[in-house]
């Protein structure tokens, strides 16, 4: 069976995602779509609106056949590490190709840009570090670094999906992967759009804005009916969808009960950020007001949110470095269709990594971190510790026929 891979978060799954999955399948003529999906916490340093299990169901209903979890350590890292973990898992799962959405839509341009940049990679990385230290976001720093190389500009690296696509190509080359890269041009909505606009495709950012405006019906035309139903059911059941505000009391407790030296142990808390966090928290009665006080030119909003995630989850630099020093060690299956099950049966004996369907039967470091962070996520959903442990350790893969 021919398989193509996609890297996703689906926060939430919308019509643009459906378009990407269908086009990926058409372009590659794949029999099976493998989705590597972030768990309960995301790359922008946010808790997912819905649990990984609900989002897995959306993915399968929307056209994915097999959903593999991207471990927390990679899912909440900066773009290069996020991309490396994702492509490594797709390669280990036996994908023949991977297909990403981009503002460019031309994979040749990505390959050409990689060839140009790789010839001066040490200079390029030095420029990126310099611009990030000046307060530019990673995409902006990458674009400015590219300009400094004085090369013919063929790819706009200020666009978030372009820069992530560039990192996918880089990761694939670093791994010596034979997986063929392809890209689909994004339709209609820009990544950062905050309004729904015309047509039936909007950015996930705009959809989340509508969902949290307490009028979920505003977004109904921009998502499949199953997404709308799952969101509405979750909102009625839990009272609200997950966001940072639900976790702010927990974060505030961590900040109140920790000394600066204790906070400095956590991943991405450095250069005095621990002191700013403590000061910003004192007069902030919401996560948003806390972030407004915490934000400086030096750090992007996303970078600060990721640091907050690691404080919230008590993820130390030592723990993160220990996991990230080696590639992912397992393939955790979150869900599958009948096609996905058939695919796994056909490749099971040749897979490069062990399959994990029940966490309680394995002892990988990455799974221990996943269990720990999932227990924290469950607190935002008001689940008891027993309910949370049962969900994380004993939930079987989601099956959709």
Q: Which residues are annotated as a binding site?
A: 7-20, 101, 161, 186
Question: Which residues define the annotated binding site for ATP?
Answer: 7-20, 101, 161, 186
193 close to 206: Cβ distance less than 8 angstroms = yes
Q: 3-state class of 36 per DSSP?
A: strand
Positive/negative CA dihedral, 230, 234, 237, 239: negative
Pairing between strand 66-70 and 331-337?
Answer: antiparallel
Q: Find out whether 153 and 94 touch, Cβ atoms under 8 Å.
A: no
Give the whole-angstrom CA distance, residue 160 versus residue 140: 9
Whole-angstrom distance, CA of residue 250 vs CA of residue 237: 22
Which are the contacts of 248, defined by CB distance < 8 A and separation ≥ 6?
286, 287, 290
Q: How far apart are the first and last CA of the chain?
A: 18
Interacting residues of 316 by C-beta distance below 8 A, sequence separation 6+: 265, 266, 267
CB 166 within 8 A of CB 114: yes
Cis upstream peptide for 12 (omega within 30°):
yes
The residue whose two tokens read 């991977």 is 98
CA atoms within 13 A on the CB side of 67: 30
How distant is the alpha carbon of residue 295 from its chain centre? Answer: 22
Q: Where are the beta strands (DSSP E) in 3-156?
A: 3-8, 32-38, 66-70, 97-102
Q: How far apart are CA 67 and CA 189, in angstroms?
A: 25
């Amino acid at each position: 069976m021919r398989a193509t891979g996609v890297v996703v978060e689906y926060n939430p799954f919308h019509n643009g995602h459906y378009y990407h999955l269908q086009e990926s399948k058409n372009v590659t003529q794949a029999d099976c779509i493998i989705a590597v999906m972030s768990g309960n916490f995301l790359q922008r340093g946010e808790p997912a609106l819905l649990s990984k299990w609900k989002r897995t169901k959306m993915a399968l209903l929307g056209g994915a056949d097999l959903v593999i979890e991207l471990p927390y350590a990679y899912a909440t890292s900066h773009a290069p590490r996020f991309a490396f973990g994702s492509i490594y898992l797709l390669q280990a799962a036996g994908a023949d190709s991977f297909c990403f959405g981009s503002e460019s839509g031309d994979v040749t341009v990505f390959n050409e840009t990689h060839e140009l940049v790789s010839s001066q990679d040490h200079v390029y990385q030095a420029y990126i570090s310099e611009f990030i230290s000046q307060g530019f976001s990673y995409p902006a720093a990458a674009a400015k670094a590219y300009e400094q190389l004085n090369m013919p500009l063929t790819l706009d690296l200020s666009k978030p999906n372009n820069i992530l696509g560039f990192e996918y190509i880089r990761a694939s080359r670093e791994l010596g992967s034979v997986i063929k890269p392809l890209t689909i041009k994004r339709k209609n909505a820009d990544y950062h759009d905050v309004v729904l606009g015309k047509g039936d495709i909007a950015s996930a950012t705009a959809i989340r804005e509508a969902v949290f405006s307490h009028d979920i019906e505003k977004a109904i035309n921009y998502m499949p009916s199953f997404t709308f139903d799952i969101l509405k059911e979750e909102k009625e059941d839990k009272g609200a969808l997950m966001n940072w505000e639900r976790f702010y009391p927990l974060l505030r407790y961590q900040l109140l009960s920790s000394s600066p030296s204790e906070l400095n142990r956590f991943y991405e808390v450095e250069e005095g950020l621990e002191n700013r966090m403590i000061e910003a928290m004192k007069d902030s009665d919401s996560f948003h007001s806390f972030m407004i006080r915490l934000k400086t030119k030096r750090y992007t909003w996303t970078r600060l949110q990721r640091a907050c995630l690691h404080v919230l989850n008590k993820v130390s630099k030592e723990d993160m470095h220990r996991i990230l020093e080696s590639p992912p060690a397992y393939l955790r299956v979150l869900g599958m269709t009948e096609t996905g099950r058939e695919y796994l049966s056909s490749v099971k004996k040749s897979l490069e990594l062990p399959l994990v369907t029940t966490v309680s039967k394995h002892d990988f470091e990455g799974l221990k971190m996943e269990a720990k962070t999932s227990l924290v996520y469950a607190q935002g959903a008001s689940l008891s510790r027993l309910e949370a442990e049962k969900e994380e350790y004993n939930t079987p893969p989601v099956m959709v026929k």
